[in-house]
A and B are shown apart, each in its own frame.
Chain A
Amino acid sequence: DARVTQTPRHKVTEMGQEVTMRCQPILGHNTVFWYRQTMMQGLELLAYFRNRAPLDDSGMPKDRFSAEMPDATLATLKIQPSEPRDSAVYFCASGLVIPRGASYNEQFFGPGTRLTVL
């Protein structure tokens, strides 16, 4: 049963601390996305990678957020320093995306990391 996994599922931290979230995409998928969900804004794209190369990080606050893919089985999202306004659920999604293609572009989401910054 292939699925996206994320760790940790919950994280409570204090303002100013570093937070690292991890994602294992579905084996064989070539594209990994990071989204953030809040009550006010809904789901928003932060960044995404294809074949481990970053393609778009325009949705991320550059001064404090960073995203990497050390290898094909691991994507990380780091916040340093964290702030209360970063409190949200962070989702990782993966898919076998055909660039500019019209088929098979579904994205499959993980269970999310619920982050609370005090």
Chain B
Amino acid sequence: EDQVTQSPEALRLQEGESSSLNCSYTVSGLRGLFWYRQDPGKGPEFLFTLYSAGEEKEKERLKATLTKKESFLHITAPKPEDSATYLCAVQASGGADGLTFGKGTHLIIQP
């Protein structure tokens, strides 16, 4: 069974204080690892897809990296508008297209 574990569950940072969110996964074969951002009362918003170990992708203050067992979402010099819940999900290579999600990391950036 595919499993995704995110840590920490919650993280409070000062504006400008860089940090990383962790996503550990167990999957029979990885087709893709996805990062989403979710704001309160809204649907998840797509951020990145990573396909193979060693791959990195960047978008503004966010950078996602991937190893064979985990992914990190690095946040550099965050701003209050980066506050949200960040969700990690995996898609297995066995043929099914649905995503298995972690519980998310609730990130708060204080001014």
Contact = CB atoms under 8 A, between A and B. Distances in A.
Interface of A: 4, 31, 33, 42-45, 48, 50, 55-56, 59, 91, 93, 97, 99-103, 105-112
B93 to A, nearest CB: 7
B34 A106 contact: yes
A7 to B, nearest CB: 14
A43 B44 contact: yes
A106 B36 CA distance: 10
Interface in B26-56: 31-32, 34, 36, 42-46, 49, 51
A102 B32 contact: yes
Contacts of A44: 101
Q: Which of A55, A56, A105 has the most CB of B within 10 A?
A: A105
Interface in B71-103: 87, 89, 91, 93, 95-103
Contacts of B49: 105-106
A109 to B, nearest CB: 4
A8 B99 CA distance: 24
Given A102-B31, A102-B32, A105-B49, A111 B97 contact: no
A101 B49 CA distance: 13
A1 to B, nearest CB: 13
Contact of A108 (B32, B46, B93, B101): B46
A105 B97 CA distance: 8
